[in-house]
């Protein structure tokens, strides 16, 4: 059963804990006071992270074949993979998570987040924003009812060294946009493959054949034109204003020495590039590390293709070893460079997968379907204690049953670590107040 909220944000569970008699006997004032005290304690926590690298496993990664194997479950649930011991006594991961198992003392694993949004669009929105979608949403939808974590971080933490504060590679996730915050806080998308010999980020270099003098002349001309009055200039949603913002970001990138350095991945030693994996995902993770070094607050690695309705074991056996190596290398490399203390690394998707293995009509190889009652999340760095496993699912992995947490708790944790009060109120262009997160309670086990 999910957490029920009234229009003021108090949960049904809170009311039951306090007792109906107490509420009607004047205890409502005390209840609201307790809620306010909780918000105050969150806002007083010192920030522990300055940057986030979010590995977004779009499609919904399986918890059984990654961080929460169930070897004592029946065969139709436990699947084909074995489990392996981790560095933590009694904690086991799936067999293809070898490197992460060996360094499980360097990060925390959350096994008990659950929600009620089983479609890709809705689940993506909930986990990416901390806000449930307002209306039913289909699987293929790009949903924007609330600003994403990346856009909020860009809004609150500002722009470093002429670089955009929010990057997404190689594309933006379904709900990774800014919503009412505006185009200024949309992610700068790096679509090109850094594993390519010809890797070059758009807007970071002058177009071929254009000299510096010609470029600055065109920039001056544009500024003169921009001084002309516009029709309905201040109208919300004016596409020209968005284009101006994209132009400004591009101009800043071209003229920013930090951008030139950050994107020159070819200067990385071959041995470092090989450690991350000479594949698209591995090199994007390395580029994310370089962006964090340049001071970028939020980088999303959009890692799609985790929707394994069929051939889950064949697909995971092929993919997980490389994925495991890249994520482990990212954490290790950040630690070696003294960056892990201030860089929060997160890996998750919109939900987990069904306990019972299924074979869809027309498919010959088994898979697992959408399942929002259980999922696993990796969180490292940024003041996150190592070697912690938060919560648990039942013996067959059907549902989170111990230390049950919500997407709101997860997003509040990220914001709190960044020094952003998750209970903060932002205002839409129409003046409507909007809480960042309706339940601004971070996961206490993950806080310093």
pLDDT of residue 376: 98
Task: Find which of 8-17, 81-90, 206-215, 240-249 is predicted with most confidence, using mean pLDDT.
Answer: 81-90
Q: Are strands 166-169 and 188-189 parallel, antiparallel or unpaired?
A: parallel
pLDDT of residue 437: 97
pLDDT of residue 78: 96
Q: Predicted confidence band at 141 (pLDDT cuts at 50, 70, 90)?
A: low
DSSP letter assigned to residue 23: I
Tell me the pLDDT tens digit for each residue of 296-323: 999 999 999 999 999 999 999 999 999 9
Mean pLDDT of 432-444: 96
Give the whole-angstrom CA distance, residue 88 versus residue 95: 15
Mean pLDDT of 403-409: 98
Task: Please give the CATH number for the structural domain made up of 47-196+257-446.
Answer: 3.40.720.10
Whether 415 and 141 have beta carbons less than 8 Å apart is answered as no
Query: Is 135 a residue whose pLDDT tops 50?
Result: yes
Mean pLDDT of 243-247: 57
Percent pLDDT > 70 in the chain is 76
Query: Is 144 a residue whose pLDDT tops 70?
Result: yes
Mean pLDDT rounded to a whole number for the chain: 85
Query: Is 155 a residue whose pLDDT tops 50?
Result: yes
Give the whole-angstrom CA distance, residue 371 versus residue 375: 8
Query: Is 249 a residue whose pLDDT tops 90?
Result: no
If you write DSSP's letter for every residue of 380-427 in order, what string do you get? ESTTPPSSEEE-EE-TTSSSEEES-B-HHHHHHHHHHHTT--TT-EEE
Query: Is 229 a residue whose pLDDT tops 70?
Result: no
Question: ∠ CA(193), CA(195), CA(201), 5° rounding?
Answer: 40
Tell me the pLDDT tens digit for each residue of 319-375: 999 999 999 999 999 999 999 999 999 999 999 999 999 877 667 799 999 999 999
Q: Predicted confidence band at 143 (pLDDT cuts at 50, 70, 90)?
A: confident
155-169, 194-208, 274-288, 316-330: lowest mean pLDDT where?
A: 194-208
Query: Is 5 a residue whose pLDDT tops 80?
Result: no
Q: Predicted confidence band at 11 (pLDDT cuts at 50, 70, 90)?
A: very low
Question: ∠ CA(369), CA(373), CA(377), 5° rounding?
Answer: 90
289 or 212: whose pLDDT is higher?
289
Query: Is 258 a residue whose pLDDT tops 90?
Result: no
213 or 442: whose pLDDT is higher?
442
Q: Predicted confidence band at 239 (pLDDT cuts at 50, 70, 90)?
A: low
Percent pLDDT > 90 in the chain is 69
pLDDT of residue 97: 98
pLDDT of residue 244: 61
φ, ψ (nearest 5 deg) of residue 426: -105, 160
pLDDT of residue 254: 66
pLDDT of residue 162: 79
Helix (H, G, I), strand (E, B) or coil at 353: strand
pLDDT of residue 20: 35
Mean pLDDT of 210-231: 47
**Which of left, alpha, beta for 245 (phi over 0: left; psi -120 to 50: alpha)?**
alpha
Q: How far is CA 379 from the centre of its chain?
A: 10
Whether 392 and 111 have beta carbons less than 8 Å apart is answered as yes
């Amino acid at each position: 059963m999910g957490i029920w909220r009234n229009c003021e944000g108090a949960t049904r569970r809170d009311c039951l804990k306090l007792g109906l008699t107490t509420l009607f006997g004047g205890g409502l004032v005390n209840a609201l006071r307790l809620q306010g005290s909780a918000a105050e304690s969150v806002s007083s926590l010192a920030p522990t992270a300055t940057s986030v690298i979010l590995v977004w496993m779009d499609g919904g990664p399986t918890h059984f074949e990654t961080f929460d194997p169930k070897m004592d479950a029946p065969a139709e649930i436990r699947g084909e993979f074995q489990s392996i011991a981790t560095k933590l006594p009694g904690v086991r991961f799936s067999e293809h998570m070898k490197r992460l198992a060996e360094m499980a003392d360097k990060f925390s694993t959350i096994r008990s987040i659950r929600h009620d949004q089983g479609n890709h669009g809705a689940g993506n929105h909930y986990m990416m924003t901390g806000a449930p979608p307002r209306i039913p949403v289909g699987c293929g939808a790009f949903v924007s009812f609330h600003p994403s974590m990346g856009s909020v971080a860009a809004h609150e933490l500002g722009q470093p060294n002429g670089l955009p504060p929010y990057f997404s590679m190689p594309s933006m996730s379904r709900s990774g946009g800014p919503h009412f915050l505006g185009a200024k806080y949309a992610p700068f998308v790096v679509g090109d493959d850094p594993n390519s010999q010809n890797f070059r980020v758009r807007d970071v270099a002058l177009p071929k054949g254009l000299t510096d003098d010609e470029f600055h002349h065109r920039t001056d001309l544009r500024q003169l034109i921009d001084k002309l009055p516009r029709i309905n200039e201040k109208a919300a949603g004016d596409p020209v204003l968005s284009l101006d913002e994209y132009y400004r970001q591009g101009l800043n990138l071209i003229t920013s020495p930090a951008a030139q350095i950050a994107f020159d991945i070819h200067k990385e030693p071959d041995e470092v590039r090989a450690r991350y994996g000479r594949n698209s995902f591995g090199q994007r993770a390395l580029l994310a590390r370089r962006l964090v070094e340049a001071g970028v607050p939020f980088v999303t690695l959009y890692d799609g293709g985790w929707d394994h309705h069929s051939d889950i074991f064949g697909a995971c056996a092929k993919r997980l070893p490389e994925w495991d190596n890249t994520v482990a290398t990212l954490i290790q490399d950040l630690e070696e460079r003294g960056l892990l203390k201030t860089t929060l690394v997160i890996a998750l998707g919109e939900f987990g997968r069904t306990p019972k293995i299924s074979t869809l009509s027309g498919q010959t190889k088994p898979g697992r379907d959408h399942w929002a009652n259980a999922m696993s999340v990796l969180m490292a760095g940024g003041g996150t204690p190592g070697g912690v496993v938060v919560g648990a699912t039942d013996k067959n992995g059907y549902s989170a049953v111990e230390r049950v947490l919500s997407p709101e708790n997860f997003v509040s944790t990220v914001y709190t670590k960044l020094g952003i009060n998750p209970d903060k109120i932002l205002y839409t262009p129409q003046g409507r107040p909007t809480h960042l997160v309706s339940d601004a309670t971070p996961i206490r086990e993950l806080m310093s």
